[in-house]
Chains A and B, each alone.
Chain A
């Protein structure tokens, strides 16, 4: 039982890292980013590459990767996505455009990564056993969980208790209304998109310490992130975290108590059931 709780919560931390970035990008900047998983794998590649070539600790890579990814994603939003936002007449039209554009971007990032490392990003870092309340787990998962808690907590405080954070939340509720009350919507959207990208890349760097990734695996994470964001409710950081916790716990419980073969099926079943009873996600607002 304790094993389920500990392993489940740690897995939830991983899922939160995967989904929090996309939650900002989709919830605030309104970009359904299909390249989200590739940005995550890019972070992983950076950690792997720096560690194997120059023994840079992945924890240091995390610090390096965050500003780089922030800048990169800001530029992507500013020069590639903003024109799409501007030309789209409705949210539906923007969704169509962003699906097409970010799908293209995901291919480009995969292409770049394959030319750097086509094989598996296999290395080990902090894979030391550690016992938490009697249950054995690994140090690297615990570290990732800790960082996930820090990022989640930090985001929550920032969104609720700072001026910039409140502006971000306002944009996530309504772009039109925010514009009317004097919020610079394009700027806030760019900020949210860049921040989301930074969190995703940091997550990738951390995840690579305990999951062996390769250049083409991004889509798996994109799908998981989409599921979590939608399950929690678009634009709700609490929702994404709660959804991540549910998935982590359910997967571990099913794997331990029933059959590991059903873990993913059970996770998707939970997702499906939640949407059936709450079509707007756990914390989502009812669409108008």
Chain B
């Protein structure tokens, strides 16, 4: 094992500890930005566990996230269960769903995989709305709890930390090696005897599990769950975009994508309240042209340059 691997883990652990103190300093507004940021860090990092090494872009995040939020809504509101029940059940349901999807998509590659996941997410969203309408009925899905932002923040931080640790372990395991080979050339991977199917399915299931967990944790913040809002295709796109912005090739890539993204998003929204969408679009374009390989690319480029300067 390379020492840098342990160093990386040590830095990550230190960051998590530091981040845990944020609610002590940040007031409500900054903390609410931190909650949003942490939600995307968890989602993007878990997305990148699968999509980073394999280059399979999944647009199903919104579906799993929705399962999490929706199950909290329906179990608490219609069945009067405690928040903790769906918090455990929802990720398992989503993982089972992801397992099925993972198996179904084995033959797909490239853009066919991308759009398949999108279509599937839309199918799930429509099915759940239909089931709720015809069989469950509803007087509105309320998630009324006493959680405050710092509770949710710590939960999300914990989830993000676990995802990071898991990613770190996977990177050093056989399965991580297999995923990277799949990303480079899937045919080669198969020829050298790597069980590409198992590796892909396991990781896809993992991302589904975590997306639902995050969705369940966020539900109390939204207080009122509408199926068409919680199964948001926009969320799927945003998670992909933040991860790509950072650079999905490194475990810490999404992290360095989400943080500047959240800050820019907030800044634009406050500066141009009437035209925030327009200016966000401009900011996006600027980023694409200024940072060709994402934030990770730029950081590594700088590191290389410094390295050259020394030698």
Contact = CB atoms under 8 A, between A and B. Distances in A.
Contacts of A261: 129-130, 133-134
Contact of B123 (A101, A107, A272): A272
B233 A100 contact: no
Interface in A158-214: none
Contacts of A276: 104, 107
Contact of A230 (B116, B240, B281): B116
Contacts, number: 133
B112 interface: yes
Interface in B246-278: 274-278
Given A99-B241, A115-B275, A261-B133, A275 B108 contact: yes
Contacts of B112: 230, 275, 279-281, 284, 287
A111 B119 contact: no
Interface in B78-129: 104, 107-112, 114-116, 118-120, 122-123, 126-127, 129
Interface string B205-244: 0000000000000000000000000000110010011001
Interface in B272-311: 274-285, 287-289, 292
B108 A279 contact: yes
A265 B289 CA distance: 38
A69 to B, nearest CB: 18
Contacts of B276: 111
Nearest to B130: A261
Contact of A272 (B116, B241, B244, B282): B116
Nearest to A111: B278
B201 interface: no
A108 interface: yes
B181 interface: no
Given A107-B277, A223-B233, A230-B111, A264 B287 contact: no
B34 interface: no
Contacts of B240: 99
29 contacts: A26-B111, A91-B110, A99-B57, A99-B240, A100-B288, A101-B284, A104-B283, A105-B281, A105-B285, A107-B277, A111-B279, A114-B278, A219-B234, A223-B118, A223-B233, A230-B112, A259-B130, A259-B134, A261-B129, A265-B126, A265-B130, A268-B119, A268-B120, A271-B119, A272-B104, A272-B120, A276-B104, A279-B108, A287-B109
Contact of B281 (A96, A99, A106, A219): A106
Q: How large is the interface on B (under 10, 10 to 19, 20 to 34, 35 or more residues)?
A: 35 or more
A80 interface: yes
A105 B108 CA distance: 29
Contacts of A101: 284-285, 288
A223 B111 contact: no
A105 to B, nearest CB: 6
